[in-house]
Amino acid sequence: MTELSNDEARETFAESSPAVRSTEVTGGAALCVSPTCPENALIYFSRGGTSMWNDGEKLREPGNTTRLAAVLSQILNNDGIIGEIPVYRVFPKVPYPDDVAEAQNRNFAEQDSGELPPLANLPATALSHASEESTSSPQSLPDLSACEVLLLGFPIWGDAVPRVIDTFLQSSNIGDAFILPFCTWSMSPSHINIEGTLGMLAPEATIGVPLIIRGEDVDDENDTTTAHDWLASAGLVN
């Protein structure tokens, strides 16, 4: 697969259907078709709770990916050119254990067996933003058939994309959207092939260059700049 920068990826995506996408690409405000069928969306998975933290563990509630989702949605809502972004969180039907080792064991088992863990939430209503309150309980996920830009967030698990993201993408009706992945990690993000994995799960989509931030650094001041620059490279903020 040829590696494209986010600018190039968005250009390719825009050229594929210029009539539909011109407002976003040229900087006009794009409104959601409806709250349940958004044109742009931010969807993420975060386990949170007891988290790997440097050489030990730390309680992180909300989790690192939830925090990063909140930073991104705030930047988009303040400075974005695609209008207010609806935010959704993917919840597994059976929550992952709070114990890190137990969660790792379950993840390895799912990776080894190829199991698709069922989700607690499937199509319907949007959340307006990723506040602590709004991300604490299962919410329905939207119809993605009209989705043009999807920011998709998750932690790195077992050097891979968590299996709940596979479940989500395989059960969603996402088509030729522009998917911008963002993820958090704690040990090493170097072995993961995010573009390849998401490309297989959403074959019609264009996958942008991922934002990859260490969980321990998510709350740092500088990460707002990193997140802002990444959104700007994708043409989503000025």
Ligand X SMILES: Cc1cc2nc3c(=O)[nH]c(=O)nc-3n(C[C@H](O)[C@H](O)[C@H](O)COP(=O)(O)O)c2cc1C
Residues that bind ligand X (CB under 6 A): 46-48, 51-52, 60, 63-66, 100, 103-104, 107, 155-159, 184-189, 215
Cβ nearer to ligand X, comparing 82 with 183: 183
Cβ nearer to ligand X, comparing 66 with 73: 66
Count of CA atoms in the C-beta half-sphere (13 A) of 48:
21
Minimum distance from residue 83 beta carbon to ligand X (Å): 26
Phi and psi angles of residue 112, each rounded to the nearest 5 degrees, phi first: -65, -40
Minimum distance from residue 44 beta carbon to ligand X (Å): 8
Minimum distance from residue 104 beta carbon to ligand X (Å): 4
Q: How far apart are the first and last CA of the chain?
A: 29
Strand blocks (E) in 174-210:
178-185, 206-207
Q: For residue 167, what are its two tokens?
A: 């479940």
Minimum distance from residue 58 beta carbon to ligand X (Å): 9
Cβ nearer to ligand X, comparing 32 with 198: 198
Minimum distance from residue 176 beta carbon to ligand X (Å): 28
Strand blocks (E) in the chain:
40-44, 49-53, 56-60, 87-89, 149-155, 178-185, 206-207, 211-214
Cβ nearer to ligand X, comparing 104 with 134: 104
Distances (CA, A) of 151 to 49, 53, 54, 230: 23, 25, 27, 12
> What sign does the CA torsion over 204, 179, 51, 86 have?
negative
Minimum distance from residue 209 beta carbon to ligand X (Å): 18
